[in-house]
Amino acid sequence: MRLAIVGATGAVGHELLSVLEQSSLNFSELQLYASPRSAGSTLSFRGQEITVQVTPDGAIPADVILASAGGSVSKALAPAWVAGGALVIDNSSAFRYDDDVPLVCPEVNGEAALRHHGIIANPNCTTLIEVLVLAPLHRVYGIKRAIISTYQSASGAGARGMEELETQTHMVLHGKVAEASAFAHPIPFNLIPHIDVFQPNGYTKEEMKVVWETRKIIGDPNLVISCTAVRVPVLRSHSEAITLELERPATPEAARELLRHAPGVEVRDDPSANLYPMPLTASGKYDVEVGRIRASLVFEGGLELFVSGDQLLKGAALNAVQIAEYLQERGALKLGVGQV
Ligand code: A2P
């Protein structure tokens, strides 16, 4: 199986390489692509230096392409990659809402990946982190309404966002003025309730992604859900406060027990020991942390909870690799179709 990464030099590309190092995914060749800026540089993988190539305008000689170079690159080039015979697992939002493109979180709706037509979309990072927790609760208790508030790290804006947080924090601490570039406003010592572009309904696109994508992955187009997405000066890992109104009442104890058995989830919930989800403990971890599980004071029989998950891992790179693993384990990766 010939594997390619487009966007290999970015924040998610970096994580893809490290997840692939540990992965059981079986491949014979790894090709790395980025923009002309990075052409000729090398990245190391399992002790070997691999040269980064310029992303070509047309087909790529690979069986599976993990794309993480942004929506415009995917939109422009993925059709040619598919025409060349490759399966594209796309990390951008370019195809997520197309009816014939599965949007897949393997722990929740892995079987949807089997019905692809050349492109599988990797969901939005904030959605992936909550859907691992919401899907099992929905199955047992039926979510009537979900209200989500997010605390999203700088890593959501890629390597540029992380660098801006670090350099500007240093600048501000030394009395210098920070000019925002990756974000709409300076990020050090601030909160920015604005991620992606505003929509006609007053929500941001990031907030609507959570609504649209949670419904598509869970397979319930009527799920009532709303989100307020906020960028916070945290380097890595997104957190979310979630309020749930349920069809059937849940106790925190029963919810905790259910989530202990949910794949991809770690229950971290012992307030007496100051144990709860945090970006610092979630970073670098494959599982998403859930805790602060308590009975809702607003919705009788409902729940309040808090999740933290590594946006670059489960929220992006890890999920993409897990989709490829899911297909390979089921013998569903068609190889050698790409004749380029
Ligand atoms: P490069 O590093 O050469 O600019 P991030 O999300 O961290 O900003 O990373 C974006 C990734 O997408 C990088 O690997 C970047 O490569 C790559 N990229 C950006 N623009 C293009 C493009 N037009 N064609 C191919 N790759 C691109």
CATH of the domain at 266: 3.30.360.10
Rg (C-alpha) for the chain, rounded Å, is: 20
Query: Does residue 160 have its Cβ closer than 6 Å to ligand 1?
Result: yes
Same domain, 192 and 294: yes
pLDDT in tens, 142-173: 999 999 999 999 999 999 999 999 999 999 99
Burial class (CB in 10 A: 0-12, 13-18, 19+), 265: buried
Query: Does residue 248 have its Cβ closer than 6 Å to ligand 1?
Result: no
Amino acid letter, residue 27:
F
pLDDT band at 177 (very low <50, low <70, confident <90, very high): very high
How far apart, in whole angstroms, are the C-alpha atoms of residue 125 and residue 315?
A: 4
DSSP 8-state secondary structure symbol assigned to residue 123: P
Q: Mean pLDDT, the chain, as a whole number?
A: 96
Burial class (CB in 10 A: 0-12, 13-18, 19+), 41: middle
Same domain, 173 and 294: yes
Same domain, 20 and 67: yes
Task: Determine, yes or no, domain membership for 280.
Answer: yes
State the pLDDT at residue 340: 45
Report phi then psi at 285, rounded to 5: -100, 145
> Backbone dihedral region of 101: left (phi > 0), alpha (psi from -120 to 50 degrees) or beta?
beta
Same domain, 102 and 147: no
Same domain, 80 and 198: no
State the pLDDT at residue 309: 98
248 Cα to the center of ligand 1, angstroms = 46
Which atom of ligand 1 lies closest to the CA of 6?
26
Same domain, 151 and 104: no
Same domain, 105 and 142: no
Which atom of ligand 1 lies closest to the CA of 55?
25
Helices and strands counted in the chain (H then E): 9, 13
Same domain, 235 and 294: yes
Task: Determine, yes or no, domain membership for 338.
Answer: no
Q: For 13-34, what is the mean pLDDT?
A: 97
pLDDT in tens, 95-151: 999 999 999 999 999 999 999 999 999 999 999 999 999 999 999 999 999 999 999
Same domain, 47 and 106: yes
pLDDT band at 89 (very low <50, low <70, confident <90, very high): very high
pLDDT band at 338 (very low <50, low <70, confident <90, very high): very low
Task: Determine, yes or no, domain membership for 111.
Answer: yes
Task: Determine, yes or no, domain membership for 88.
Answer: yes
Number of domains in the chain: 2
Same domain, 108 and 182: no
Which atom of ligand 1 lies closest to the CA of 37?
3
* Residues 6+ away with beta carbon under 8 Å from 38: 8, 9, 52
Q: For 174-193, what is the mean pLDDT?
A: 96
Query: Does residue 30 have its Cβ closer than 6 Å to ligand 1?
Result: no
111 Cα to the center of ligand 1, angstroms = 30
pLDDT in tens, 44-74: 999 999 999 999 999 999 999 999 999 999 9
Task: Determine, yes or no, domain membership for 259.
Answer: yes
Same domain, 160 and 280: yes
Provide the domain limits for residue 104: 2-123+316-329
Q: pTM for the complete prediction?
A: 0.96
Amino acid letter, residue 69:
A
Cβ atoms of 133 and 250 within 8 Å: the answer is no
Burial class (CB in 10 A: 0-12, 13-18, 19+), 184: exposed
Q: What DSSP string describes 221-236?
A: TT-EEEEEEEE-S-SS
pLDDT in tens, 186-197: 999 999 999 999
How far apart, in whole angstroms, are the C-alpha atoms of residue 82 and residue 104?
A: 18
State the pLDDT at residue 339: 44
Task: Determine, yes or no, domain membership for 340.
Answer: no
Same domain, 271 and 131: yes
Query: Does residue 11 have its Cβ closer than 6 Å to ligand 1?
Result: yes
pLDDT band at 283 (very low <50, low <70, confident <90, very high): very high
Report phi then psi at 331, rounded to 5: 65, 30
How far apart, in whole angstroms, are the C-alpha atoms of residue 78 and residue 300?
A: 47
Question: Which residues belong to the active site?
Answer: 125, 238
CATH of the domain at 69: 3.40.50.720
Cβ atoms of 298 and 145 within 8 Å: the answer is no
Which residues face 275 on adjacent strands?
270
Task: Determine, yes or no, domain membership for 152.
Answer: yes
Query: Does residue 73 have its Cβ closer than 6 Å to ligand 1?
Result: yes
Task: Determine, yes or no, domain membership for 85.
Answer: yes
